[in-house]
Amino acid sequence: MTVQQLAPAPADTVTAFAAAVDLPAGRTLEPGDISGISVPPGLVPSGSPDSKTAFEGKQLAAPLRRGQLLTDAQVLGPGLLAGSPAGTAAVPLRLSDPASIQLVSPGQLVNVVLTGGDGFGQTAESQVLAEAVPVLWTSGHGGKAGPWLATADTDGLIVVAARADQARRLAGASTRGKLFFVLVAAAPG
């Protein structure tokens, strides 16, 4: 009885859902990928699933470490733009150098550059179409396209979050010339 009286009262906990194992970006969540863990109520982030199976079949936008809590912002779909300003669009871009995608990961900021001309008869001119847009998804880090695209169709593909004016400039830009990205640092502040 003395031990019971000296032991602290058990803390209130709730069930949250976390990665059961390390999961790569682009993985389609399957049974067994997510497990329930007990955490204090204040540690459950908004956008958390309400069951282990709530996000089954959805694709991860970023890698998760074992034990990391899952939210809707970590899966492709409407949740991927969670926290973005109203009017933000997810814009797919096909880059001219597919190998360069290995240099960028979701969350990094890039400037998207369009280079026109052929370098021979037409002068090659570059134009920045969008500055400091965050990368949401890349085909280079285990990203899978899902049932609607074959694997070869995703080579050289990234998805960025863009404001409406940037999205208009980026839409179809790869048909007007060659698209490249430049890695940029986040603005201090």
Number of domains composing the chain: 2
108 and 180 in a single domain? The answer is yes
pLDDT at 109: 94
pLDDT at 121: 65
Q: What is the mean pLDDT of each run of 10 residues along the chain (189 residues)?
A: 58 91 88 93 91 88 90 78 81 90 89 80 81 86 44 72 93 87 81
| C-alpha–C-alpha distance, residues 133 and 186, integer Å | 10
Q: Is residue 123 part of a domain?
A: yes
pLDDT at 154: 64
pLDDT at 148: 35
21 and 56 in a single domain? The answer is yes
pLDDT at 146: 44
pLDDT at 149: 42
CATH classification at residue 37: 3.90.1210.10
69 and 132 in a single domain? The answer is no
Residues whose CB is less than 8 angstroms from the CB of residue 131 and which lie 6 or more positions away in sequence, other chains included: 111, 184
Q: Is residue 189 part of a domain?
A: no
Whose CA is closest to 186, among 136, 142, 132?
A: 132
93 and 163 in a single domain? The answer is yes
What's the residue count for the chain?
189
Yes or no: say if 162 and 170 are a contact pair by the CB < 8 Å rule: yes
Q: Is residue 113 part of a domain?
A: yes
* Last residue of one domain, picked from the residues 39, 61, 81: 81
70 and 150 in a single domain? The answer is no
Q: Whole-structure pTM over 0.75, yes or no?
A: no
Residues whose CB is less than 8 angstroms from the CB of residue 164 and which lie 6 or more positions away in sequence, other chains included: 87, 89
Range of the domain at 46: 1-81
